[in-house]
Amino acid sequence: MSQTLVNPAPPPAPQAPGARQWAALAVLTLAVTLLAIDSTVLALAIPSLSADLGPTATQLLWIGDVYSFTLAGLLVTMGNLADRVGRRRLLLIGTTGFGVSSVLAALAPSATALIAARALLGISGATIMPSTLSLIRNIFPGPRHRTTAIAVWSAGSSGGTALGPLVGGVLLEHFWWGSVFLINVPVMAAVVVTGLWLLPESRNDDGDPVDVVSAVLSVAAIVPVVYAVKSFAHDGPTLTAAVALVAGTVAGRAFLRRQRRLTTPLIDVGLFRLPAFTWAVVATVMAVFALAGLLYFFSQYLQLVRGYSTLQAGLTELPTSVSSIAVVAVVAWLVRRLGHGGALGGGLVLSAAGLVVVAVAESWGGIVLICVGLLIIGTGVGLAFTVSTGAVLGSVPASRAGAASAISETGLELGVALGIAVLGTVQDVGYRLLLGAVPGGVPGPVADAARQSLATLAGAADPSYPEQAQLLAQARTAFTHAMQATALVAAVILLLAGCMAARRVPAAGAETAGPSARTPGAAAGQDAEAAGPAGRR
């Protein structure tokens, strides 16, 4: 008697998400939209808060990047904490803390107080970012719907960047600089109220408690290294920076060794054996490093060099955000045509081309060509970030979504912090070198302000005096030429990142990356499910 061979039934397809799931996505998107608004309006507010608080050039950089330093140092811990104690719970706690910290930032009486408030915002933000992505990973288990959800999430982040200049510009036209922080409060309140109702709780019930030693080591590794790089870039070799670098390196080695021994580590070192995961993270870090360092000063260029109001500056920056949102509609098609690696690399190379256009236009092309360059940058960035985020989340099982998201977000925030610190310092050094001699007759305090930064000089100089007007003109020219040089450096970094991504990220991204080396064999089926249909072939 012949036997009939029966193929095993394929696993059931994930159930299509309903209205409640899409409404939950709207809440998560609102949270990241606010974070994007917050970062954008800060750049617009730099000139006005500089005139009010009188920060030094170093304090100005710290105001910009202490948020990212704090966020980067805590993201890994918070991502794992979210997996253990509950992603919704930690998201709502962080959202509340973000609102409170925003009030403290708005009422800061000094530059030092503002830096401290921004650090508190970073602590709160560290609970929000990995929680949003990991909740998306759990709410949308199917690869097709998850890709759509990530595209919406990315569009929300880009939309926040678009709304920030508009909302911030209107506020700064009528109110003091602290108003750009106060807009966070009602939005965060809405996230908390709707999140309590719509967001499902999810956690990794099989996970061990967060390892406190690993958490301390992660902070001890990240923060000193970032501080050392910032200090080397701004002050040159110093004993304090050298000690910080050594301490951070030692803590980092101890952290990695401990992760390899733990059953449930804070960072799953095995994830870095997945090409889609590793090179998506690396390429995106390089991209955000290049972009953050340059764009942090672009609003200052528009206001202090071209004389735009905050609202005009916000409208000028709009093409970047609009194009980064619009490209989401064609991301899936581009990935099918180019593959994940080609789409990611192409987006980064496109952004590099946009930076070159902006650099040329700042002196010779006028505002129309600048807007064209910003349009190109936004298209490339929107494409690259959406593809890389999908590659990272698709590489891991749902139980480790928070940890993987935290690794990705840590890389992003490190890129932001280092970009502002390093490229911001390149900008500052170039400005001082190109400033030239201070005209005779300029008061000492005004001359000192000129040597600090253009923003500081703009708040101290009186252009009704010919000597001070001449100094302002020199400073604007020096600032512009320094920005052009920094833009070209950033473009080279983006070009290298794009070539790396195109060569190293597999064409099918996470879907053919294979199971995580963390759990060979036993977890293969689980990782295949996370990878989607291609992973089950």
Domain CATH code at residue 96: 1.20.1250.20
Structure tokens, 321 = 């955000």
Residue 2 covered by a domain: no
Residue 87 covered by a domain: yes
Same domain, 217 and 336: no
- The answer, yes or no, to whether residue 51 has pLDDT greater than 90, is no
Residue 437 phi/psi, 5° resolution?
-75, 140
Same domain, 218 and 345: no
Residue 37 covered by a domain: yes
* Structural contact between residues 259 and 267, judged by C-beta atoms closer than 8 angstroms: yes
In the chain, the number of structural domains is 2
Same domain, 235 and 216: yes
- The answer, yes or no, to whether residue 525 has pLDDT greater than 50, is no
Residue 124 covered by a domain: yes
Average pLDDT, the chain: 76
Of 118 and 318, the structure prediction assigns the larger pLDDT to 118
pLDDT tens by residue, 172-194: 778 888 888 888 888 888 888 88
Tell me what pLDDT residue 406 has: 65
Same domain, 111 and 258: no
Which stretches of 267-365 are DSSP H helices? 275-295, 298-300, 310-316, 318-326, 331-361
CA distance 16 to 19: 10
Tell me what pLDDT residue 246 has: 94
Tell me what pLDDT residue 199 has: 81
Same domain, 252 and 153: no
* Structural contact between residues 287 and 348, judged by C-beta atoms closer than 8 angstroms: yes
Cα 165 to chain centroid distance, Å, stands at 17
| Average pLDDT of the segment spanning 268-291 | 76
pLDDT tens by residue, 69-119: 777 677 777 777 777 777 888 888 888 999 999 999 999 889 899 999 998
* Structural contact between residues 356 and 514, judged by C-beta atoms closer than 8 angstroms: no
Same domain, 99 and 227: no
Q: What is the 3-state secondary structure (H, E, C) of 415-444?
A: HHHHHHHHHHHHHHHHHHHHHCCCCCCCCH
Amino acid making up residue 388: S
CA distance 460 to 471: 12
pLDDT tens by residue, 320-363: 777 877 787 787 788 778 887 888 888 899 989 998 998 898 87
- The answer, yes or no, to whether residue 417 has pLDDT greater than 70, is no
* Structural contact between residues 295 and 425, judged by C-beta atoms closer than 8 angstroms: no
Residue 6 phi/psi, 5° resolution?
-110, 120
* Structural contact between residues 314 and 169, judged by C-beta atoms closer than 8 angstroms: yes
Could you identify the residue written with the tokens 């054996």? Answer: 273
Is this structure's pTM higher than 0.75? Answer: no
Residue 146 covered by a domain: yes
Of 507 and 183, the structure prediction assigns the larger pLDDT to 183
Share of residues in the chain with pLDDT > 70 (%)? 79
Q: Which of 247, 265, 283 lies at the terminal end of a domain, its last residue?
A: 265
Tell me what pLDDT residue 171 has: 81
Same domain, 444 and 503: yes
Same domain, 180 and 273: yes
| Residue 255 domain boundaries | 211-265
CA distance 225 to 421: 12
Tell me what pLDDT residue 5 has: 44
| Average pLDDT of the segment spanning 16-37 | 80
* Ranges 178-192, 277-291, 485-499: which has the least confidence: 277-291
Residue 9 covered by a domain: no
CA distance 494 to 382: 14
Same domain, 145 and 249: no
Same domain, 352 and 342: yes
Could you identify the residue written with the tokens 């600032």? Answer: 479
* Structural contact between residues 517 and 280, judged by C-beta atoms closer than 8 angstroms: no
**Which among 281, 339, 22 has a CA at the least distance from the CA of 149?**
22
Tell me what pLDDT residue 357 has: 92
Structure tokens, 236 = 């040159």
**Which among 225, 233, 240 has a CA at the least distance from the CA of 61?**
233
Residue 206 covered by a domain: no
Q: What is the dihedral of CA 518, 524, 530, 533, to 10 degrees?
A: 150
421 Cβ contact partners less than 8 Å away, ≥ 6 residues apart: 61, 65, 226, 229, 230, 233, 234, 293
CA distance 60 to 67: 12
Structure tokens, 311 = 């609202």
* CA separation, residue 450 to residues 79, 437, 472, 473, 532 (Å): 43, 10, 8, 11, 57
* Structural contact between residues 112 and 53, judged by C-beta atoms closer than 8 angstroms: no
Same domain, 255 and 387: no
Amino acid making up residue 11: P
**Which among 166, 498, 120 has a CA at the least distance from the CA of 314?**
166
Residue 234 covered by a domain: yes
DSSP element (H, E) containing 231:
helix 212-235
**Which among 500, 414, 442, 21 has a CA at the least distance from the CA of 223?**
414
Same domain, 400 and 469: yes
Measure CA of the first residue to CA of the last residue in the chain; give whole Å: 32
Give the pLDDT band of residue 208 (cuts 50, 70, 90): low
Give the pLDDT band of residue 53 (cuts 50, 70, 90): confident
139 Cβ contact partners less than 8 Å away, ≥ 6 residues apart: 17, 21, 24, 25, 149, 200
Tell me what pLDDT residue 333 has: 81
